[in-house]
């Protein structure tokens, strides 16, 4: 494996991001100017590098942390070209279409005119002064393009390729990324135990895989709402979330400019983007659930698939007969999608149009390689409602739908709860794996208690770590603002870091090959007082450095063999180091514990003779 | 059970705290004035109340949250008289000696002159201008007293009483607090499965119990160090930590004024205080581990027992033969106490003086009812070192020591790790329970990964929740500053809240009777849009309110039937409420799922006829 290292610190990369503040003329005027991606200079202590694959256009990004002892540690990287100082990015032009040649080379897709963009796609009235039809170029003029789909109804999904025994460049990419063989990737996808979300209209992504045999992934939700936030903020949140480690991003916008926001997010996103098409469909009928129709929904799915959405949450498991099962719950239906579908079923007294038209939906998704994320619309919203009849009735339906989706070669993952006390978590993953033929489980938390609003990243981080250990493939983050408000930039970062902790703790517990190397490198740095290495290896180098400097700000303290916890005279690490120096060699030479103990008798005598002191006080 | 409610909002209690800024003349001049306890007005949305026991002086404090729907919820309270507006507190006089009559009435203790306080107790030289002997009154003039101990060598421990079949007022107090029968409390203490730390010289405490059959407890560490912080800060940190829910506080001071800081903390603490006497003993020999002696250590233990320390960490399990077992660890010995004892053993090539003199130590602790916290000096300091030979060798020794302590009627708990990946956590609690005859386990975290300095409250909160679910009785908190610096006020709060989440999540998972009522009350409030109730029931009402107000600050939003996440037109809770209204009654009347579904047919028709709308938009 060849690693090419850009060797310019990522912390200086911001200089290369285009920061012209000019407003793009074609951007809606209420977006507040050009989305500019991540601009603040976070002094991240790693360098961008690439692992080169079998072809020149297959370069897998990694973070390389160069340690002060001459060694280096290679970490998974989700931040995209934004942290590569050799790449000039411009949010108005979008990222390079990394996968375009791969997709074209397969020869199974065709470009076509595409659905015209309508005013109501952005939540505007037909009669709006900005009314009238537009094409995709008007929404994102920086990169003229026509949408692409499977030619003649061919499924163009990674699942279809994997089943045919083909290892696509995308599969090779994730194999290098995960440090496994491409054949393992192909097998897991073919078996439906993993998904590789990669819409043919989102060639900008760096492919990634979601499955229990691979590293646990983290999704970050962004999205404006009717109440607050702008396109610019959403694009910034996306780049910000991926910089801290988000593996996918869901755009859950519900207000105006849904279509335009999504286009800007997609064109600038190095990670797969997920959505809930139902949200936009509801906007199109002015928030009246009962006015939703299959036609409006289907049109919205096509609209989003043409834009390049990589996976879609579909609440097709919320069936008419399950709605009354929620009536005596503590918190009813807390999923927005779930409650919309429940309201529709009730209003019409009909079976869900999503359930009824599921096969047609499969055909559409297969034509773009959109991955299903089968939504858990009846997930519990409180500890009291966990693992109840409504929840598991829906899960069984998701199992049926998973089987249908696979018949159409559509990649599928299954969403999971929610609020679940610790002792009821394992049943969720065990049942899901059984009912859904080991399709990847994608859970929100779960939150392990209801009593800590403002800390639900923690109440849920606990449940997330546990359920990931037991086999969940991707975790949907929860921010401190859950239940209270929309997350800002700091909340997004806190949510992502918390969930990276949960994911990595699970990777360790699952014994994922290589996972512990990161911990070991950091612990070595800690034991050897290599403070800078400890910071640079941290999930959040900036905050680690800041916390250290609060008590001991001076530069010499960065190399000092003590810290502010115990002070110079009292350091257990120093005492312990002297023990390692004295006894480590014998044990390293393969001596048994008894032999080491024997050797110790002699050594401790020498130690006493050499001055009988463990260490000299540096200061008084 | 009678609950007496003070009915003045706790948020106004600060007015009753003496806030005279005058410096106490007898306080060391470098403490920066009078410690003043908690002064900032946190608008905590609950009222202090008391559950009255079998005698007038037995009043158990609780938090009573009065809801806007007329109901109220009673929660466990650790904050002491500081949150009772009817009690005037003054940190220079200390808290009232709640237990004094109970202790005296038992007639098995005697007052005596006590050990004189020496300059070196506060880290000063004998030749200091402030040199010379003082008595306790000089250290804390606000409450003249003489120390007390078991008369004629009688063990005066709660364990001794429990074994004799006596239910002490302390036991009745915790029974009311935990909502169990006094006999259960007595049995658990008598069996050694629970401890009730209550030094006869710390009559100010509100008794609490630590054992797996009871609510999971949280300890917060405070303490100045050679590098930073003052007496005043430490007393403030203690009141601050208990306000947010700390059940015990450990004073781990290592710098100057150790004795005086501890005295002020003890006289003002409503919760049991723990220490590590070895830290102070080391100060007395100027940081030279090899100069420690049993005599110096023993004298320090007596000094602290006379002050009223309720439990002491004793690293008697770090035996000479175990030291070399740590030589090839990734991070050696990370416990300060452990490394000091290891250094001593090596320097002298002798067995630990703590291990050798353990029986004499038991006699001392029994005379004051100081509880053992048998330290895990060889706990793993990194994922790589978890569950290794050194760690479990020490644990087996702690099992032996536990048996000895029980022979002397000394209450005992066992400390546990440390850094442990999730899949190795359960082995820790299972082994400890087996080896130590179910003595309460008291663990630090464990941290489930090493890669997130600045977020170790979270890496460890995950492990803490899990190990508590499996039977750990008390969790030692970890703050965001772990590995990096000394926690400030915000860090202490974050650490305590994180650990209260872990503890409560475990209470839920263990099915502790009544634990879920809290979650249910909060979820009801959430579902019914009772925002104020939701805030007031939160573990941290201030932050919950603040986060909500960031996006929707206006007062009407507090009663609005929507929030900023979805906006007014799109609220799943509202949709769901209408479902509950429609179908809840049928299900509530005991109808089966089928009957409810049947009823639904009719209802949904009515629903459609009634206007076919789920809800009216409040705003557009």
Smallest Cα distance from A609 to chain B, Å:
9
The per-residue pLDDT for A24 is: 32
Average of per-residue pLDDT values in chain B: 85
Query: Which residues between 406 and 425 in chain B have a beta carbon less than 8 angstroms from any beta carbon of chain A?
Result: 419, 421-423
Least confident of A28-37, A305-314, B474-483: A28-37
Q: Annotated binding site for Zn(2+): which residue ranges of B?
A: 419, 483
Which of B:290-329 have CB within 8 Å of A? Answer: 290, 321, 323-329
Q: How far is CA B409 from the centre of its chain?
A: 24
Report CB contact under 8 Å: B451, A486.
Answer: no
A148 in reach of chain B (CB within 8 A) = no
What pLDDT was estimated at residue B19?
30
Chain centroid to CA B268: 15
Cβ within 8 Å of B, A 433-472 = 448-455, 458-459, 461-462, 465-466, 469
Instruction: Give A101 or A125, the one with higher predicted confidence.
Output: A101
- pLDDT confidence of residue A490: 94
Nearest to B538 among A382, A451, A508 (CB): A451
**Sorting pLDDT into bands at 50, 70 and 90, what band is A304?**
very high
Task: Work out the minimum CA distance from B499 to partner chain A, whole angstroms.
Answer: 10
Rounded CA-CA distance A363/A375 in Å is 18
Band of pLDDT at residue B7, cut at 50, 70 and 90: very low
Are A184 and A210 a contacting pair, CB within 8 Å?
no
Position with higher pLDDT, A81 vs B571: A81
Say yes or no for a CB contact (<8 Å) between A604 and B349: yes
* Neighbour-count burial for B360-387, b at 16+ CB within 10 Å, e otherwise: ebbebbbbbbbbbbbbbbbbbbbbbbbb
Convert the pLDDT of each residue in A458-506 to its tens digit: 999 999 999 999 999 999 999 999 999 888 899 999 999 999 999 999 9
* Cα end-to-end span (Å), chain A: 51
Q: Could you check whether the bond before residue A338 is cis, i.e. omega within 30 degrees of 0?
A: no
* pLDDT computed for residue A35 by the predictor: 33
**Would residue A332 be called left, alpha or beta, if left means φ above 0 and alpha means ψ between -120 and 50 degrees?**
left
Interface of B with A in 550-609 (CB under 8 A): 550-552, 563-570, 572-573, 575-580, 582-584, 586-588, 593, 596-597, 599-601, 603-605, 607-608
pLDDT at B41: 35
**What SS3 state is found at A619?**
coil
Tens of pLDDT, residues A91-116: 889 999 999 999 999 999 999 999 99
Disruptive mutation site among B233, B284, B292, B451 for chain A (greatest number of A CBs within 10 Å) = B451
pLDDT exceeds cutoff 50 at A619: no
Confidence label for A131 from pLDDT (cuts 50, 70 and 90): low
Residue B253, pLDDT score:
85
**Inter-chain contact A523–B331, Cβ cutoff 8 Å?**
yes
pLDDT in tens, B47-77: 999 999 999 999 999 999 999 999 999 999 9
Tell me the pTM. 0.89
Q: What is the mean pLDDT of residues A179-192?
A: 98
The mean pLDDT of chain A is: 85
B298 CB-side CA count, 13 A: 15
Which chain A residue is nearest to residue B321, measuring alpha carbons? A597
Average pLDDT over residues A248-275: 93
pLDDT(B146) > 80 = yes
A511 in contact with B, Cβ within 8 Å: yes
Q: Is residue B268 predicted with pLDDT exceeding 70?
A: yes
Which pLDDT does position A554 carry in this prediction?
A: 60
Average pLDDT over residues B266-272: 97
Share of chain A above pLDDT 90, in %: 69
Question: Has A363 been labeled as part of a binding site?
Answer: no
pLDDT grade for B581, boundaries at 50, 70 and 90: low
Stretch (H or E) spanning A149: strand A148-150
d(CA B580, CA A325): 10
A279 pLDDT higher than 90: yes
Q: Tokens at residue B35, please?
A: 């410690």
Nearest-by-CA chain B residue for A550: B485
Residue range A510-536: mean pLDDT, rounded: 94
Within 8 A of B548 by CB-CB distance, chain A residues are: 484-485
The answer to whether the CB of A44 falls within 8 A of the CB of A83 is yes
Buried b (16+ CB within 10 A) or exposed e, A267-293: bbbbbbbbbbbbbbbbbbeebbbbbbe
Structure tokens at A144: 């003229």
A190-212 mean pLDDT: 98
> Which residues contact residue A486 at a Cβ distance below 8 angstroms, ignoring those fewer than 6 apart?
A225, A227, A228, A229, B551, B564, B565
Q: What is the pLDDT of residue A612?
A: 36
ipTM: 0.88
Tell me the pLDDT band of A34, cut-offs 50, 70 and 90: very low
**Cβ–Cβ gap B347/A604 under 8 Å:** yes
Which residues in A lie closer than 8 A to residue B245 (C-beta atoms)? Answer: none
Q: Chain B residues with CB inside 8 Å of A569's CB?
A: 226, 287
Flag whether pLDDT at B2 surpasses 90.
no
Q: Which residues of B touch A486 (CB under 8 A)?
A: 551, 564-565
Give the least confident one: A189-198, B111-120, B159-168, B586-595: B586-595
* Residue whose pair of structure tokens reads 């949280």 in the numeric block: B218
At residue B550 the predicted structure's pLDDT band, cuts being 50, 70 and 90, is: confident
What is the C-alpha separation between A281 and A289, in angstroms, rounded?
9
Mean pLDDT score, A246-256: 90
- pLDDT per residue as tens digits for the range B276-312: 999 999 999 988 999 999 999 999 999 999 999 999 9
Between residues 220 and 239 of chain B, which touch chain A (CB distance below 8 Å)? 225-228
A336 known member of a binding site: yes
Give the residue, B229 or A393, on which the prediction is more confident: A393
Nearest to A422 by CA among B229, B558, B194, B503: B503
Which of A536-540, B144-148, B203-207, B560-564 shows the lowest mean pLDDT across its residues?
B560-564
Query: Cβ separation of A579 and B534 shorter than 8 Å?
Result: no
Reduced to 3 states (helix: H, G, I; strand: E, B; else coil), residue B444 is strand
CA distance B426 to B429: 5
Using alpha carbons, select from A455, A510, A507, A463 the residue that is nearest to residue A479.
A455
Mean pLDDT of the region B495-508? 98
Res B153: pLDDT: 82
Q: Which of B249-253, B437-441, B475-479, B547-551 has the lowest mean pLDDT?
A: B547-551
Q: Which of residues 484-503 of B touch A (CB under 8 A)?
A: 484-486, 488, 497-498, 500-502
- Non-local (6+) Cβ contacts of A305 within 8 A are A147, A149, A199, A201, A364, A365, A367, A368, A370
The predicted structure's pLDDT at residue B119: 85
Residue reference for tokens 């407890």: B217
Of A340, A382, A564, the CB nearest to B225: A564
What local confidence, expressed as pLDDT, does residue B611 receive?
41
Lowest-confidence region among A371-380, A588-597, B17-26: B17-26
By C-alpha distance, the chain B residue nearest A337 is B572
Cβ contacts below 8 Å, chain A against chain B, sum to 490
Residue B538 pLDDT greater than 80, yes or no? yes
Distance (Å) from the alpha carbon of B150 to chain A's nearest alpha carbon: 35
- How far apart are alpha carbons B406 and B404 in whole angstroms? 5
List, for residues B14-55, the tens digit of each pLDDT value. 322 233 333 232 222 222 223 333 333 344 578 999 999 999
Q: What's the CA gap between A72 and A65, in Å, rounded?
A: 5
- Please enumerate in sequence order all residues whose Cβ is within 8 A of that of B202, keeping only pairs 6 or more positions apart, or say none: B266, B269, B272, B273, B308, B309, B310
pLDDT band of A573, cuts 50, 70, 90:
low
Paired with A313 in beta bridges are A373
End-to-end Cα spacing for chain B: 51
**What is residue B244's predicted lDDT score, i.e. its pLDDT?**
97
A131 touches chain B (CB under 8 A): no
The three-state DSSP-derived secondary structure of A450-462 is: CCCCCCHHHHHHH
Residue A458: both structure tokens together: 């923690």
Which one, of A339, A407, A340, lies nearest residue A379 by Cα? A339
Surface of A (19-48) touching B: CB under 8 A = none
Gap from A395 CA to chain B (nearest CA, Å): 17
> Residue ranges of B for the binding site?
221, 250, 279, 315, 335-337, 376-379, 415, 419, 442, 483, 563, 566, 571
Residues in chain A within 8 Å Cβ distance of B597? 321, 324
* Predicted pLDDT of residue A595: 54
The pLDDT assigned to B485 comes to: 87
Nearest Cα to Cα of residue B471 among B213, B131, B202? B213
Give B-chain residues touching A516 at CB under 8 angstroms.
Answer: 383-384
By CB atoms closer than 10 A (0-12, 13-18, 19+), residue A107 is exposed
Among A459, A502, A544, beta carbon nearest to B454:
A544
Looking at chain B, the whole-number percentage of residues with pLDDT higher than 70 is 79
């Amino acid at each position: 494996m060849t690693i090419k290292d850009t060797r310019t610190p990522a912390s200086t990369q911001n200089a290369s991001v285009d920061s012209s503040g000019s407003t793009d003329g074609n951007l809606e005027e209420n977006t507040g100017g050009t989305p500019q991606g991540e601009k603040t200079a976070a002094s991240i202590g790693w360098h961008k590098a690439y692992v080169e694959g079998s072809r020149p256009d297959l370069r897998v990004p990694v973070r390389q942390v160069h340690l002060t002892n001459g060694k280096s540690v290679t970490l998974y990287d989700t931040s995209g070209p934004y942290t590569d100082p050799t790449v000039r990015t411009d949010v108005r032009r979008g990222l390079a279409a990394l996968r375009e040649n791969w997709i074209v080379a397969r020869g199974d897709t065709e470009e076509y005119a595409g659905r015209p963009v309508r005013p109501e796609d952005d939540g505007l009235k037909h009669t709006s002064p900005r009314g009238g039809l537009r094409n995709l170029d008007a929404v994102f003029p920086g990169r003229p393009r026509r949408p692409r789909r499977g030619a003649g109804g061919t499924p163009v999904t990674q699942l279809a390729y994997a089943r045919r025994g083909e290892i696509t460049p995308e599969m090779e990419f994730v194999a290098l990324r995960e440090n496994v063989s491409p054949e393992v990737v192909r097998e897991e996808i073919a078996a439906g135990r993993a998904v590789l979300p990669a819409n043919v209209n989102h060639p900008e992504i760096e492919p990634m895989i979601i499955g229990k045999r691979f590293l646990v992934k983290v999704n970050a939700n962004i999205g404006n709402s009717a109440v607050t936030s702008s396109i610019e903020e959403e694009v910034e949140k996306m780049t910000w979330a991926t910089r801290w480690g988000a593996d996918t991003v869901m755009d859950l916008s519900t207000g105006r400019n849904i279509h335009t926001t999504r286009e800007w997010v997609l064109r600038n996103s190095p990670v797969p983007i997920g959505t809930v098409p139902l949200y936009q469909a509801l906007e199109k009928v002015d928030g009246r659930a009962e006015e939703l129709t299959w036609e409006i929904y289907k049109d919205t799915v096509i609209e989003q698939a043409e834009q390049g959405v990589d996976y879609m949450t579909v609440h097709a498991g919320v069936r008419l007969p399950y709605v009354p099962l929620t009536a005596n719950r503590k918190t009813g239906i807390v999923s927005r999608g779930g409650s919309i579908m429940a309201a529709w079923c009730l209003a019409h007294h009909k079976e869900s149009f999503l359930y009824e038209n599921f096969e047609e939906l499969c055909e559409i998704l297969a034509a773009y390689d959109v991955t299903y994320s089968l939504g858990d619309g009846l997930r519990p919203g409180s500890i009291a409602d966990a693992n109840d009849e409504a929840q598991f009735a829906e899960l069984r339906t998701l199992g049926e739908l998973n089987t249908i989706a696979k018949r159409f070669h559509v990649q599928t993952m299954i969403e999971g709860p929610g609020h679940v006390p610790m002792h009821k978590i394992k049943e969720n993953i065990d049942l899901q794996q059984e009912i859904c033929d080991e399709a990847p489980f994608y859970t929100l938390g779960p939150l392990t208690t209801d009593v800590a609003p403002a800390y639900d990243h923690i109440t849920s981080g606990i449940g997330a770590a546990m359920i990931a250990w037991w086999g969940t493939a991707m975790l949907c983050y929860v921010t401190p603002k859950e239940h209270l408000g929309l997350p800002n930039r700091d909340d997004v970062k806190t949510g992502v870091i918390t969930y990276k902790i949960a994911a990595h703790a699970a990777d360790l517990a699952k014994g994922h090959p290589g996972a512990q190397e990161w911990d070991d490198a950091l612990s070595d740095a800690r034991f050897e007082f290599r403070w800078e290495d400890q910071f640079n290896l941290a999930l959040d180098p900036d905050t680690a450095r800041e916390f250290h400097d609060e008590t001991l700000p001076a530069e010499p303290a960065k190399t000092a063999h003590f810290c502010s916890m115990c002070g110079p005279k009292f350091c257990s690490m120093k005492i312990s180091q002297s023990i390692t120096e004295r006894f480590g060699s014998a044990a390293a030479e393969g001596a048994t514990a008894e032999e080491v103990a024997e050797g110790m008798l002699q050594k401790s005598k020498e130690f006493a003779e050499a001055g009988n002191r463990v260490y000299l006080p540096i200061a008084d």
